[in-house]
């Protein structure tokens, strides 16, 4: 999607007012980056910690590295699934008949990137 297409995104009318498509697009893109980028970075940093511990060849360092990797892995899973569950709940709560409700507004903004890409 090039810059011209991003600037010409349609208005989002689900909020009861005309929200600029660019704003909804950016918010949706940020949410998507957080959902996929943060867990990926946590896993990469956990692997680096574990790799440094293995290279150090000390038993204590390896155990600390394993513990840190497990903590970061759990944090990555939590970040990914919390956002996914929130998206699911908002999507299910959005009422098809009431186009201007708050849940429809949130649903439209959260899913704007995937619907207009």
Cα 106 from Cα 79, distance rounded (Å): 19
- Predicted local confidence at residue 4, as pLDDT: 46
Would you give the DSSP letter of residue 94? -
The pLDDT-based confidence of 8 (bands split at 50, 70, 90) is: low
Provide DSSP, 59-85.
HHHHHHHHHHHHHHHHHHHHHHHHHHH
Residues 76, 38 contacting (CB under 8 angstroms): yes
**Is the pLDDT at 74 greater than 60, yes or no?**
yes
List the structure tokens of 12: 């989002």
pTM higher than 0.85: no
Q: Is residue 16 left, alpha or beta, with left meaning phi > 0 and alpha meaning psi from -120 to 50?
A: left
* Mean pLDDT estimate for the chain: 77
Cα 113 from Cα 90, distance rounded (Å): 16
């Amino acid at each position: 999607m090039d810059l011209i297409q991003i600037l010409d995104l349609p208005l989002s009318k689900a909020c009861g007012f005309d929200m600029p498509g660019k704003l909804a697009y950016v918010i949706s893109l940020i949410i998507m980056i957080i959902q996929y980028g943060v867990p990926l970075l946590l896993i990469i940093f956990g692997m680096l910690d574990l790799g440094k511990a293995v290279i150090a060849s000390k038993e204590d360092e390896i155990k600390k590295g394993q513990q840190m990797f497990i903590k970061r892995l759990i944090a990555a899973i939590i970040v990914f699934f919390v956002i996914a569950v929130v998206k699911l709940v908002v999507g299910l709560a959005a009422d098809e008949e009431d186009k201007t409700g708050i849940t429809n507004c949130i649903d439209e903004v959260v899913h704007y990137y995937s619907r207009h890409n």
